[in-house]
Structure 1
């Protein structure tokens, strides 16, 4: 009886310790670069507000009635994506960046409607994500008009859906590598737009510094950010990739 009690006590202690370690690990996030975020806050073309469960970016001029619910990568601060979407929002599209449960997209079971409610005037919605956030976005794509993957790929088959897909990857991405993105291409509709940014790595899809395991970028963050923004804006407007948007 005493031996059984000791084993039970040890088991409970180990489980509790592992739970504490996991919670501490999950809550140590990759913070957004302060200077990049502040530039967006000061941009009079973009309004930024914290809605509690998400960060809402809305255009202050000529909204186009379109919106994107965007899911961050694992343990990445939502504010790290303000700079990524600055020009997208300034062009008229609303972006709602979620705050996933425990900073991990797979633990967030809330439907898209939870985040869409923050922008009731938006008529057409896409769902997107970076890295693990993109994998989760694929699971929610059936409830959206569009699917946006940044440095990510689907783990489930959406190839037979009518969702409009844009996949933007980096040739120097050490996590969502070109090989992984190519291997999952058959899971997307044949009509998907697939764009690779030469020289971009995984962390350049946000503004949060370097990431362990990533490749070394050969283009600047500013250059990568512009190419990402241009690709997303072209997709939203339905113009061919590489077209002059100005």
Structure 2
């Protein structure tokens, strides 16, 4: 091969390298921009609702140092039963404290709400393992979650051996086909949904009912929308609620408390 031909080939190779570097660099910029956009649009927990929970003498809010997030305990002696609750996509763990507060106060059951990588439970499905490992004083565990968090909690529950979990609590959520829960007679399953939920709609919940055990308890709350399962403000695409946030919290708490007390 002539010197000119070799030089021409090397020149083309360098051009391809430059093109490849530009493509990789461009993709990196897109990924970084997407992550920043996702982080910037994160909602915050309602400050007033959070402050009210923290001021209650019958409850104790504790930061989770091992995984991030928060736990809510009854003041005084803690029981040996607890719930690990996965947040919905982009929602901070603290946003669920106001809704869980009456449940914890009425049942004595603690709730652990771990933080998720990039606030996506799909990236932290096994966070419950870290919580259980760090709290061996708890004898009976439930898992649950809101929206995407509920789907991942269902997936986690399906992967556990019979007897490891007491049950699954879904808020405005449905499980995926891979959860493998249909025949799990050992699990008590409670699904709480809202009639005005525009994201996990009543039809979505109904269509996936067959993915849960036959004896799963299905409760649809009239007038409640998707965002009212937490306190973080309105959510794009959601339905318009016909009940107040306080009323929604009371409706949710009544159903969940009854389920937890029934198992004690």
Do they superpose with TM above 0.5?
yes
- Residues 65, 121 of structure 1: 8 Å contact kept: yes
- Once the two structures are superposed, what CA deviation does each residue of 1:13-67 show, in whole Å capped at 9, x if it has no partner? 1221122023213323211100001110001111101113221111114544211
Partner of 2:143: 127
Runs of 4+ in 1 over 6 A off after TM superposition: none
Question: Could you tell me which of 214, 227, 237 is aligned with 2:238?
Answer: 214
Write the distance in 2 (CA, Å) between the matches of 1:103 and 1:128: 16
- Residues 61, 90 of structure 1: 8 Å contact kept: no
- Residues 194, 221 of structure 2: 8 Å contact kept: yes
Query: Which structure dedicates a bigger proportion of its chain to helix?
Result: 2
Unaligned runs of 5+ in 1: 240-246
Question: Could you tell me which of 213, 220, 223 is aligned with 1:196?
Answer: 220
| SS of match in other structure, 1:57 | strand
- Once the two structures are superposed, what CA deviation does each residue of 1:133-186 show, in whole Å capped at 9, x if it has no partner? 001001111432210100000012311112110000000000000000000000
- Once the two structures are superposed, what CA deviation does each residue of 1:47-95 show, in whole Å capped at 9, x if it has no partner? 1011132211111145442110000000001110000100111120010
Question: Could you tell me which of 64, 70, 75 is aligned with 1:51?
Answer: 64
User: Larger deviation: 60-69 or 97-106?
Assistant: 60-69
- Residues 56, 118 of structure 1: 8 Å contact kept: no
Write the distance in 2 (CA, Å) between the matches of 1:117 and 1:172: 38
Distance 1:81 1:174, change over 3 A: same
Write the distance in 2 (CA, Å) between the matches of 1:213 and 1:12: 34
Question: Could you tell me which of 82, 89, 106 is aligned with 2:97?
Answer: 82
User: Larger deviation: 32-41 or 155-164?
Assistant: 155-164
Q: Tell me the TM-score normalised to structure 1 length.
A: 0.93
C-alpha displacement of 1:118 = 4.4
1:227 has 2:251 as partner: yes
Write the distance in 1 (CA, Å) between the matches of 2:25 and 2:251: 50
Alignment coverage as a number of residue pairs: 239
Q: Tell me the TM-score normalised to structure 2 length.
A: 0.87
Q: Report matched runs for 1:74-153 at 5 Å.
A: 74-91=89-106, 92-142=108-158, 143=160, 144-153=165-174
